[in-house]
Amino acid sequence: MNKKIRVGVIGATGMVGQKYIKLLENHPWFEVAYLAASPNSAGKKYTEAVASRWHMESDMPEAVKDIVVEDASKVSKAAGKCSIVFSAVELDKKAILALEEEYAAAGFAVVSNNSAHRATEDVPMMIPEINYSHLDIIPQQRKQRGWKDGLLVVKPNCSIQSYMIPIYALIKAGYPIEKMIVSTLQAVSGAGYPGVASIDIIDNVLPNLAGEEDKSEIEPAKILGKVQGSKIVSDTNIKISAHCNRVAVSDGHTACVSLKFAGKKPEMEEIKNIWRNFSSVPQELKLPFAPVPPLIYRDEPDRPQPRTDRDAGNAMAVTVGRLRTCNVFDIRFVGLHHNTVRGAAGGAILTAELLVARGYIKG
Pairing of strands 151-154, 109-112: parallel
Residues 6+ apart with CB under 8 A from 267: none
User: Is 326 one of the catalytic residues?
Assistant: no
| Alpha carbon distance 198, 301 (integer Å) | 31
Which of 158, 244, 337, 338 does the annotation list as catalytic? 158
Q: How far apart are the first and last CA of the chain?
A: 10
Q: State the sign of the Cα–Cα–Cα–Cα dihedral 112, 116, 120, 126.
A: positive
* DSSP states along 203-262: T--B---TTHHHHHHHHHHHHT-EEETTEEEP---SEEEEEEEE-S-SS-EEEEEEEEES
**Other residues' Cβ atoms within 10 Å of the Cβ of residue 13:** 24
Residue 336 burial by CB count (10 A; 0-12/13-18/19+): exposed, middle or buried?
A: buried
- Note whether 187 and 306 are within 8 A (CB): yes
| Alpha carbon distance 186, 206 (integer Å) | 10
> Which residues face 37 on adjacent strands?
71
Which of 82, 134, 244, 253 does the annotation list as catalytic? 253
Nearest alpha-carbon partner for 337 in 127, 161, 212? 161
User: Is 253 one of the catalytic residues?
Assistant: yes
Q: How far is CA 91 from CA 247, 263, 264, in A?
A: 26, 44, 46
Buried/exposed code over 41-60 (b: 16+ C-beta within 10 A; e: otherwise) = bbeebbeebbeeebeeeeeb
Catalytic residues: 158, 253
